[in-house]
Amino acid sequence: MPPIFVVLLVICVWISFLNPRFATVPGIMSFLMRAAPAAILAAGQLFVIVSGGFDLSVGSLITLVVLGSSMLIGGDPANTPWVIAVMFLIGIAVGVFNGAVTSWLKVPSFITTLGMLVTLKGFALLWTGGAPRGALPNNFRVFGRNRLSGVPLLDEVPYAVIILLVVAVVATYLLHRTGWGKQLIALGDNPRAARLSGVPTAKVRILAFVASATSAVIAGILLGGFSGVSTNVGDGQELGAISAAVLGGAKLLGGRGTMPGAIAGALTLQALFTLLNLLGWPKPLRDGLQGVIIIGAVAYTAWRERRS
């Protein structure tokens, strides 16, 4: 079993000692509900990481989804369906752009998506005049904060958890069971060999960025529902997603990574922050720890590679 699952288990047991309610069905459900956006984002990010790139634009894309949805819906719940459709289209467009610029103009994805991060955030703030405006109607927020009741055994299941489950299954299938997923990993491992084996590298890579951007749109819809409209809802989410993937055993610069690992990595980060909160660490310190974790995780993987 990959080490990340052990770490996750240990942290969860520890939390249960401090807070016995955590180890109940409702406790686990609300934990998963809070973790769902980050886990979905990590799943999307993994597609780009195994291909040898980064997608830093997802945090701003989330902000754009939340602010843009509130602007377009304008308080009329009847607008929600088409606005959600538009958000997915925007996500796909951002993904295609990131992937195309990276593939054809040979701009490293780190730079392409960093530029996109700044641009999308700027665009979102320009649209709303710099402050959160309006509110999201209930039929939008339902995905992020409501629960499906009457489920056998579990009683209530948050919609976010169901969505996470679906995303996890689909993403695992795409990465580990389709020709695309395998070609993506091969591309990240050795781009030149992949090209000389006939892999349509641009197409394969663009799709990875589309997957990542789509995951950001889903995460944005959940976060908007969970915590409402704010201008910093997406800040730092990209780093969380990359950390999660690396904690889950993915190799930065490509060629290695598993979907269950990345999702477990995201859950572990969420559990760790829950634990530190219970232990009374102040929030800035908890946030700051994330930087240490990503450096530590990458150093650990590098050390393990060197040893083998």
105 part of the interface to another protein, by CB under 8 A: no
Query: Which pair of tokens denotes residue 260?
Result: 């269950």
At 147, give phi and psi (nearest 5°).
-125, 150
Contact 99, 207 (CB under 8 A): yes
Using CB under 8 A as the binding criterion, the count of chain residues that bind another protein stands at: 28
- Which residue in the set 105, 192, 292, 306 belongs to the binding site for another protein (CB under 8 A)? 192
- Which residue in the set 129, 198, 280, 284 belongs to the binding site for another protein (CB under 8 A)? 198
21 part of the interface to another protein, by CB under 8 A: no
As measured in angstroms, the least distance from the Cβ of 238 to another protein is 25
Sign (positive/negative) of CA torsion 101, 104, 108, 109?
A: positive
Instruction: Quote the CA–CA distance of 132 and 129 in Å, as a whole number.
Output: 8
- Which residue in the set 22, 54, 180, 209 belongs to the binding site for another protein (CB under 8 A)? 180
Give the footprint of another protein on residues 64-93 (CB under 8 A): none
Instruction: Quote the CA–CA distance of 253 and 50 in Å, as a whole number.
Output: 7
169 part of the interface to another protein, by CB under 8 A: no
- Which residue in the set 43, 48, 101, 194 belongs to the binding site for another protein (CB under 8 A)? 194
145 part of the interface to another protein, by CB under 8 A: no
304 part of the interface to another protein, by CB under 8 A: no
For the chain, the residue count is 308
196 part of the interface to another protein, by CB under 8 A: yes
Residue 303 CB neighbours (<10 A):
9
Contact 46, 260 (CB under 8 A): no
134 part of the interface to another protein, by CB under 8 A: no
Instruction: Quote the CA–CA distance of 137 and 140 in Å, as a whole number.
Output: 6
193 part of the interface to another protein, by CB under 8 A: yes
The residue among 267, 260, 261, 227 whose CA lies nearest residue 246 is 261
Which one of 72-80, 155-163, 195-203, 275-283 is the stretch in contact with another protein (CB under 8 A)?
Answer: 195-203
76 vs 305, beta carbon nearer another protein? 305
As measured in angstroms, the least distance from the Cβ of 189 to another protein is 4
178 part of the interface to another protein, by CB under 8 A: yes
195 part of the interface to another protein, by CB under 8 A: yes
The residue among 92, 94, 112, 93 whose CA lies nearest residue 102 is 112
- Which residue in the set 25, 148, 176, 283 belongs to the binding site for another protein (CB under 8 A)? 176
298 part of the interface to another protein, by CB under 8 A: no
205 part of the interface to another protein, by CB under 8 A: no
- Which residue in the set 204, 241, 259, 264 belongs to the binding site for another protein (CB under 8 A)? 204
Query: Which pair of tokens denotes residue 132?
Result: 């959160």
192 vs 306, beta carbon nearer another protein? 192
CA atoms within 13 A on the CB side of 124: 30
The DSSP output letter for 281 is -
Give the footprint of another protein on residues 207-266 (CB under 8 A): 207, 251, 255-256
In angstroms, how far apart are the furthest CA atoms of the chain? Answer: 59
Element (DSSP H or E) covering residue 279: none
As measured in angstroms, the least distance from the Cβ of 116 to another protein is 24
Q: What is the per-residue burial (b if ≥16 Cβ within 10 Å, else e) of 177-191?
A: eeebbebbbbbbbeb
Site for another protein, rule CB under 8 A: 174, 176-183, 185-186, 189-190, 192-200, 203-204, 207, 251, 255-256
